[in-house]
């Protein structure tokens, strides 16, 4: 059974940093690209980043480019999202999702940016 479990939830101040993790199981993690998606309160979903299976390519939404970094450790079956210079508008539920086909998603973690 495919499982994606995010962690790193929390409340941080504007301008600070935070790192999310997504641990994968039930499939060969190193064979698939992975995504991060977020949903701000009472807003729609926003795709924010994709990383290829071998980390050879990474793509970002303009809203996070230069501030967020997607990475992965295939030896640990783990996807990461490092978030710097956080803003109030980054407050959202953050989900990881498997592959370019977005076939499986985690349950999400809440990130709140507030002073």
Partner 1 sequence: DIQMTQSPSFLSASVGDRVTINCKASQNINKYLNWYQQKLGEAPKRLIYNTNNLQTGIPSRFSGSGSGTDYTLTISSLQPEDFATYFCLQHNSFPFTFGSGTKLEIK
Residues that bind partner 1 (CB under 8 A): 4, 35, 44-47, 50, 59, 61-62, 95, 100-108
Looking at the Cβ atoms of 46 and 82, the one nearer to partner 1 is 46
Cα torsion for 73, 78, 84, 86, to the nearest 10°?
A: 170
**Could you give the CA distance from residue 108 to residue 110 in angstroms, rounded to a whole number?**
7
Looking at the Cβ atoms of 73 and 103, the one nearer to partner 1 is 103
Nearest approach in angstroms of CB 103 to partner 1 is: 5
Nearest approach in angstroms of CB 61 to partner 1 is: 5
Q: Is the dihedral of CA 90, 82, 38, 47 positive or negative?
A: positive
Nearest approach in angstroms of CB 13 to partner 1 is: 27
Residue 101: partners with Cβ closer than 8 Å, 6 or more residues away: none
């Amino acid at each position: 059974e495919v499982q994606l479990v995010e962690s790193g939830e929390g409340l941080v101040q504007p301008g600070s940093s935070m790192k999310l993790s997504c641990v994968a199981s039930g499939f060969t993690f190193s064979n698939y690209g992975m995504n991060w998606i977020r949903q701000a309160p009472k807003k729609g979903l926003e795709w924010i980043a994709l990383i290829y299976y071998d980390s050879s390519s990474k793509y970002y939404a303009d809203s996070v480019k230069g501030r967020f970094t997607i990475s992965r450790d295939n030896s640990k079956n783990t996807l990461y999202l490092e978030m710097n210079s956080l803003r109030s508008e980054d407050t959202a539920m953050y989900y990881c999702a498997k592959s370019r086909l977005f076939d499986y998603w985690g349950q999400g973690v809440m990130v709140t940016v507030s002073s």
